[in-house]
Structure 1
Amino acid sequence: MIAASSERVWDALVDREALVRWLPPGGMTARFERFDPRPGGSYRLVLTYADPSGAPGKATADSDVVDVRFVDIVPGVRVVQAVDFVSDDPAFAGTMTMTWALTPVDAGTRVDIVAEDVPDGISAEDHATGLASSLANLAAYVERPA
């Protein structure tokens, strides 16, 4: 549950500058190499660890790189993304599907995330922790005064 309108949350899901600010989990920063937010569009995101000693990156010693395709975008309702990690490690191979769905509620917006086909190299606990961190960042980002 996020105490902000679904319009404000939606804007944060599809805006390049907003995503760079809230999407990286705690202990990481992000930058886009490209960004085209439309059905059939894509982006490449580089996530860099502040301290890579505890979580070596998948693409380099200190970073994760993801290639993402927008599979479906229903404005104000959901974003479906096909996510591929750039890695030589076969444990991170395959395409993960991420669906971010918004539902307006009295208190603001309910945000549901479904991750399917998560690569074996990503533990369920680590993935849940990362998503919870990103959701907390999203809430802080959209709940602040405009």
Structure 2
Amino acid sequence: MIRAPKESIWSAWTDPDKLAQWWIPAPLTLRVDALELRPGGAFSTMMSEDGETFTPHVDAVFLLVEDNSRLVFTNAVNSTWHPVSPDPVSMTTEIILGDHPDGTDYQAVVRHGSPEQRARHEELGFFDGWGTVTEQLAQSVE
């Protein structure tokens, strides 16, 4: 649960300037290169440790966009609509915003192509990373 209205969280996900502020663990820097909010739209971000040299972070497409309630994207197809096997893992992510008496019920569901990919992502710190950015999201909207 995040103590903010759904509209604030939606804006944090869908405004490139706001997304860049929280969607990578600090102190890394995020640059949003594409955020086309429609099914089939490109979603591309780059990350940097020094704020000058950027490397790929996410290269994906949106599968579903439901205003103020749901975003679904996958990196199994890149932002130019080519099938890929991204490093380190392929995944489909669903962000779900629901009503809660104290703000918003926030869910991030990530699906992997195989148990091996899920285990690999977990080894790389997936849960800690997503936990960190969720805390950063909450701090940015509360």
TM-score where L is the length of structure 1? 0.77
Residues 26-66 of structure 1 show CA distances to partners (whole Å, capped at 9, x for unaligned) of 3321002233222211121112235xxxxxxxxx9x84432
The 2-side partners of 1:33 and 1:5 are apart by 27
* Structure 1 pair 131–93 and aligned structure 2 pair: CA distance change class (3 A): closer
Residue of structure 1 aligned with 2:104, choices 100, 103, 109:
109
- Deviation of the 1:92 alpha carbon: 2.4
- Deviation of the 1:76 alpha carbon: 1.3
Over the matched positions of the two proteins, sequence identity in percent amounts to 25
Runs of 5+ unmatched residues, structure 1: 51-59
Residues 7-38 of structure 1 show CA distances to partners (whole Å, capped at 9, x for unaligned) of 11111111111100011123321002233222
The 2-side partners of 1:103 and 1:35 are apart by 22
AA aligned opposite 1:75: D
Runs of 5+ unmatched residues, structure 2: 79-84
* Structure 1 pair 85–45 and aligned structure 2 pair: CA distance change class (3 A): farther
**Hey, what does 1:27 align to over in structure 2?**
27
The 2-side partners of 1:85 and 1:69 are apart by 6
Aligned length: 130
Aligned-residue RMSD, C-alpha = 2.6
**Hey, what does 1:129 align to over in structure 2?**
128
Q: Secondary structure at the match of 1:130?
A: helix
Residues 86-110 of structure 1 show CA distances to partners (whole Å, capped at 9, x for unaligned) of 9xxx782653100000111110001
Q: Secondary structure at the match of 1:123?
A: helix
The 1-side partners of 2:39 and 2:124 are apart by 30
- Deviation of the 1:125 alpha carbon: 6.6
- Deviation of the 1:123 alpha carbon: 2.4
The 1-side partners of 2:2 and 2:63 are apart by 25
Q: Secondary structure at the match of 1:31?
A: strand
Tell me whether 1:96 sits opposite 2:81 in the alignment: no
